[in-house]
Amino acid sequence: MSDTTPRGGRAYQRGPHDAAVTPKDLKVRIKEQRLRIDWADGTTSEYSLDELRKQCPCASCRTEREQQNANPLKILKFDPAGVRVVAAELVGNYAIKFTWSDGHDTGIFDFRFLRALGETK
């Protein structure tokens, strides 16, 4: 999925309908390294893919961030600076997954997680 809108079906819905976490339109702009989501409740959120990588929800990235917070002098094994998204795909109808230029692709960005990040316009 690059510079595109996902096709087919509805986005994730919690309960009978939760427009706050239901994308109406979702665009990944690979060239600009941006993600834009128009939510069903009329709100629009835009994210820097670089910033999303820093918030990657996968177990490895979370553990590394926790270790860094526990010991700020610890040298990280991985620095996401300069890493770019090369591909993106929907995961079911509740999340999006990115493939990064370093091969990392285990972070699944649930729509609730993205909405909670709060980069809303």
Among 4-8, 10-14, 51-55, 62-66, top mean pLDDT goes to: 51-55
Q: What is the pLDDT of residue 39?
A: 95
CA 41 to chain centre: 19
Round to whole Å and give the CA distance between 73 and 84. 26
- Among the CATH numbers 3.40.640.10, 3.90.180.10, 1.20.140.10, 3.30.2020.30, which is that of 19-117? 3.30.2020.30
Round to whole Å and give the CA distance between 89 and 99. 9
Q: What is the pLDDT of residue 10?
A: 37
Q: What is the pLDDT of residue 17?
A: 60
Q: Residue 104's closest CA among 57, 69, 66, 65?
A: 57
Q: Is 90 exceeded by the pLDDT of residue 77? A: no
CA trace torsion 92, 93, 95, 99 (10° rounding):
50
Among 15-19, 48-52, 79-83, 117-121, top mean pLDDT goes to: 48-52
What are the extents of the domains in the chain? Answer: 19-117
Q: What is the pLDDT of residue 16?
A: 46
pLDDT digits 0-9 by tens, 9-21: 334 334 446 888 9
Bridging pattern class, strands 23-29 and 108-110: unpaired
Q: What is the pLDDT of residue 75?
A: 59
Are 26 and 5 in contact, with CB atoms under 8 Å apart?
yes
pTM (two decimals):
0.76
Average pLDDT over the chain reads: 82
Distances (CA, A) of 81 to 44, 85, 110: 26, 12, 23
Write out the two tokens for 63. 């553990």
